Structure 1
Amino acid sequence: MNVEKISSKKVSERVGEQIENLIITGHFQSGEKLPSVRELCELFDVGRSAVRDAITTMKGKGLVDVRHGEGTYVQSYDPAQLFRSNMLLPDMKDIEALFQVRAILETEMVKMAAENRTEKDLREMEKTIRRMRTACHEENETLDYHFHKTIAKAAGNHILYQLMEFISSTTQKAMVDFHGYIAEDEAILSNIINQHEQIFENIKLGDGEGSSKVMHIHLEEVKRLMQKSILNETESCL
């Protein structure tokens, strides 16, 4: 079994991450009893409090079941649940990974939308953009979701639409903070809305390649701004 020794920074979190990884990769199976606290201390070369805190966190995520007097057992693993838990307070690495996925999905999805969109889809996209220009930032958050989901719907692939719903739900906390951040700068907000409009115009023209290029530019800009908002929030807490 390959494990890493734990550094002194955020010891319990690092312990939890490694145990979770062992569960994900199948080293610990559903229903299997984890090693004892003492054995985990020896395995990771950490103190008992770090292991106990890690187990408490995993219990809160629904990954393990702590049975008094018996030990800790692995629960059925749900990747969606773990992903949602990890994305509640994303870091730079999370955002980079998320937008890699979004770029793969959405730059191709928008090409499909340009080919398959209906007049009803176009009206819905146009209405959403108009509302973005007058909405408060709380409503803009919802409108942003709706615009991208409308594109997914216009693409005509129900599985792709479900994937977009999943990604949207996992990033809800980050997007709330993000929209609050961009709302403080009218120029940034206007630029984001303009990018949505450019995407829409290319879809309306049936230009799949043009739609894909603008979507890529948009996602790169949103990623940059989200990372900047997280950095600013981190610095304000120091």
Structure 2
Amino acid sequence: MEAVKIDRQKLSDRVALQIEQWITAGHVRPGAKLPSVRELCQLFNVGRTAVRDAITTLKGKGLVEVRHGNGTFVRQSDCSRVFQGVSLVRKEDIHKLFAVRKILEAGTAELAAVHRNTDHLYHMKKALERLAQADSRDGWRADLHFHLAIAEATQNEHLVQLMQTVSSAIRKGIMDCHRIILADAEQERVIFHQHVAVFEAIRDAKPEQARQAMVEHLAHVEALLNGTL
């Protein structure tokens, strides 16, 4: 797990967001115990109050439960169950999932181009670097982190929560995509450059271009999963 040092703005909210990222990205599984309050303070370089408030926030969202004397444990988020049963084997399921992604993520990219700051761009760029360097077997993690980082760049907690709601289904689609491109270097190159195009539009504060780049990327991946490329 990675922990990025937290700045002084809304400490508890940002700690909660990073821990939530650990959970949605699968770094901490349901039933697993989180690091202690002292360890989290050290990881994020914040005080105990910020960590405790973050845990309270996560508890309110139903993401964790506090067992007195034992610590804080990850629980299955109710909202994530909405997409638990999604199977990407059938073309109908692929179409339904990507209909949601195109509506949600195109708008997210557009807003990210308006509201992103240097920290957001840093996290997106680091995800891209990991994506470029990773073996395709593990590239899906960097891919998922990139899409979640875009949601964070909107600075809209409701959009972030919506992304986390569908993150389990998005993860399945991304993993399936990376299984395919494992044997197709050209598709791997194309998809990477599509990510770069989204990033550059967000970096350059071009909302419409960011939206279009995301739509083109998602349409390409959908066609790839459907076997129509």
1:201 is displaced (CA, Å) by 0.6
Query: CA 1:131–1:83 in 2, change beyond 3 Å: closer, same or farther?
Result: closer
Q: What's 2:174 paired with? A: 175
184-193 or 169-178, which moves further after superposition? 169-178
Q: What's 1:226 paired with? A: 225
Q: CA RMSD in A?
A: 2.1
- Structure 2: runs of 5+ lacking an equivalent: 1-77
1:138 aligns with 2:121: no
Q: Which secondary structure state, in structure 1, belongs to the residue aligned with residue 166 of structure 2?
A: helix
Question: Deviations along 1:11-56, whole A, 9 cap, x unmatched?
Answer: xxxxxxxxxxxxxxxxxxxxxxxxxxxxxxxxxxxxxxxxxxxxxx
- Structure 1: runs of 5+ lacking an equivalent: 1-77, 232-238
Query: CA 1:84–1:137 in 2, change beyond 3 Å: closer, same or farther?
Result: same
Q: What's 2:116 paired with? A: 117
1:185 aligns with 2:205: no
Runs of 4+ in 1 over 2 A off after TM superposition: 78-83, 170-178
- Contact 1:90–1:174 under 8 Å retained in 2: no
Aligned residues: 152
TM-score when scaled to structure 1?
0.59
Query: CA 1:133–1:82 in 2, change beyond 3 Å: closer, same or farther?
Result: closer
Q: What's 2:154 paired with? A: 155
Percent identity (aligned): 34
1:225 is displaced (CA, Å) by 0.7
- Contact 2:79–2:165 under 8 Å retained in 1: no
Q: What's 1:205 paired with? A: 204
Q: What's 2:81 paired with? A: 81
- Contact 1:88–1:171 under 8 Å retained in 2: no
1:150 is displaced (CA, Å) by 0.2
Distance 1:196 1:203 in 2: 11
Q: Which secondary structure state, in structure 1, belongs to the residue aligned with residue 183 of structure 2?
A: coil
Larger Rg: 1
1:177 is displaced (CA, Å) by 2.8
TM-score when scaled to structure 2?
0.62
Q: What's 2:37 paired with? A: none
Letter in 1 for 2:95: E
Q: What's 1:71 paired with? A: none
Distance 2:218 2:189 in 1: 15
